[in-house]
Structure 1
């Protein structure tokens, strides 16, 4: 089930029609309030949400923040739709946990293609190994928790995803562009300062464990394998 949150009834209707004609089931919401009430009370969560940024009442960015803050809903893939082409809107949404974005006016086949791509990317949610340990750092994937020397630490969504990649592949070097692709879902974006900023804050939050994440000159970053 794909949920479409869009206040323009003509756009919402054609989104739902297109989705149903391409094999999906879909449901539409005219504003953030009705969407959030349904999300909070339903027993069957949506497979993906297309969320318009400009909505009457609570806007899409605020709703995205609430979705990603809840352990019940944070794994729902979200594609943001915006009438603005300003780069800030896209990066802000992606940084808050959105999986992709569409800039209005967009074609319905582009929408379907992006939905399928996001669903494929998000499909393998459960790893066979649900606890990753490297030195004093431990991550429990199912519980979505991270601890250092036994003390729990709080990470943002992006910090958590970066750390998860490093813990899953200790010793492997990652370029900034590859991290952008795997964590932010964007390819060859070119602006890599946001990666450096997130690595910096991740190291700080990991405390003594922050030294495990090392800079690989002219490449990017990697997590060194620890045996202590």
Structure 2
């Protein structure tokens, strides 16, 4: 996908940050729209359908985590990348962001060139994954990476991007046990620091949606996809 076709929505209550990031991302070739609060961000996102959403956490009217939750409920936005920007460095804020399906978490002050580099890398990884896409069919479960769909029997199950990637990765390697660190590296990448508990939260959410019989916990080691 050419950059000219990739759309980014910036949501932040600081006008200087919006202007700075919009300038740098537009110069890079991305189509960019902005919103100054979470409520407006959700409204714009529904019509714009961005490929990437960059959200400040602390905003008036509605914080970034709640804004992300509302956006994820829109089917067309379920698989958009999400990067959180924040001046807060507390662990609980980071945990809340990744539990909501964030792809990255960046603390302010922002270095525009570094941010652009991380965004470019994010889209490159996605492009590479799409070229390698295919269906995984195990029992009555069909996992289609090209369309981000999961079908169990005759039921279509909607999973946010990170939950889908986790399920797809495990299903590609049935019976093989992966540690939390290995799953973090393969799903979130080596350039993003994510807490190990994030894996546990995503596994729990996947199990709630597809059932308990597919992903097994290997105590003290990690997780595996198990058809038994």
TM-score of the aligned structures, taking structure 1 as reference length: 0.78
Please name the residue that 2:177 is paired with: 173
1:207 shift after superposition: 4.5
Q: Please list the CA deviations of residues 189-213 of structure 1 after superposition, one character each: whole Å capped at 9, or x if unmatched.
A: 5853443454456456654733xx3
Please name the residue that 1:33 is paired with: 39
Contact 1:99 1:185 in 2 (8 A): no
Distance 1:7 1:200, change over 3 A: closer
Please name the residue that 2:150 is paired with: 145
How far apart in 2 are the matches of 1:188 and 1:11? 22
Please name the residue that 1:220 is paired with: 222
Work out the number of aligned pairs and report it.
Answer: 221
Contact 1:177 1:189 in 2 (8 A): no
Give the RMSD, CA atoms, in angstroms.
3.2
How far apart in 1 are the matches of 2:212 and 2:107? 42
Please name the residue that 2:65 is paired with: 61
1:164 aligns with 2:168: yes
How far apart in 2 are the matches of 1:31 and 1:135? 45
Q: Please list the CA deviations of residues 108-148 of structure 1 after superposition, one character each: whole Å capped at 9, or x if unmatched.
A: 1121122112222333564776542212433345362342x
Q: Which runs of 5+ in 1 are unaligned?
A: none
Distance 1:74 1:55, change over 3 A: same
1:90 aligns with 2:94: yes
TM-score of the aligned structures, taking structure 2 as reference length: 0.78
1:61 shift after superposition: 1.0
Please name the residue that 1:20 is paired with: 26
Q: Secondary structure at the match of 2:10?
A: strand
How far apart in 2 are the matches of 1:65 and 1:19? 25
